[in-house]
Amino acid sequence: MTSTEIDIFEFSQRGEEVPHAPAYRVRIDGEVFRIDTPTPKGELLLGKVGKRPCAFELIEEFVHGKNEVVEPEEEVDLRKRGLKGFITAHKEIVTIFINGDPYKIERGNRTVAEILAKVGQTPEGYVLLEEKDGQPPMPLPPDRPVKIHGCEVFHTQPQSGGSS
């Protein structure tokens, strides 16, 4: 039987070099995926498990126990000796988007004032709106914490009733 897919985990377990192949079977968070290139980018691999680089990092797992973080734009060599597969982990410092631009922030509960400060604004002068699930942006109450997981999309608008 000739297989066009090479399972990189099996080769790493045997300590063998991974041969060239049209496709590779790769484990990410325990799930097996078919990858059609020997050098996929980190973002593509994260996408296979439905995760985005603004909230998660991708980590290469090796048989000798040394793990390495893969950047989203970095190419991974699936034929690297000893590579078992990949795991993902929640980033502590995630990326959110405010008015279309990316900003780094610590994940967890954040105040509206902390988020507005990223763009040099305050709750006194601006309303923070959050866009969720394709719904129109909704204003967030300035006195309640905002749960940040990463990848959230926010917009700001001047407070109404003030002079503009």
Q: What's the pLDDT tens digit per position in 5-59?
A: 999 999 999 999 999 999 999 999 999 999 999 999 999 999 999 999 999 999 9
Q: According to the model, what pLDDT value does residue 62 have?
A: 96
The CA angle 104-108-111, to the nearest 5 degrees, is: 80
For residue 9, give its domain range. 5-90
N-terminal to C-terminal alpha carbon distance within the chain? 74
Q: What is the CATH number of the domain that holds 42?
A: 3.10.20
Rounded CA separation 18/63 (Å): 14
Residues 18, 64: one domain?
yes
Average pLDDT value over all residues in the chain: 94
110, part of any domain: yes
- Asked if the structure places residue 25 within a domain, the reply is yes
Q: Give yes or no for a contact between 81 and 9, defined as CB atoms under 8 angstroms apart.
A: no
Residues 101, 74 within the same domain: no
Q: Are residues 112 and 127 in the same domain?
A: yes
**Are 101 and 132 within one domain?**
yes
With 70 as the cut, is the pLDDT of residue 1 above it? Answer: no
Q: Are residues 74 and 139 in the same domain?
A: no
How far out from the chain centre does Cα 161 lie?
Answer: 39
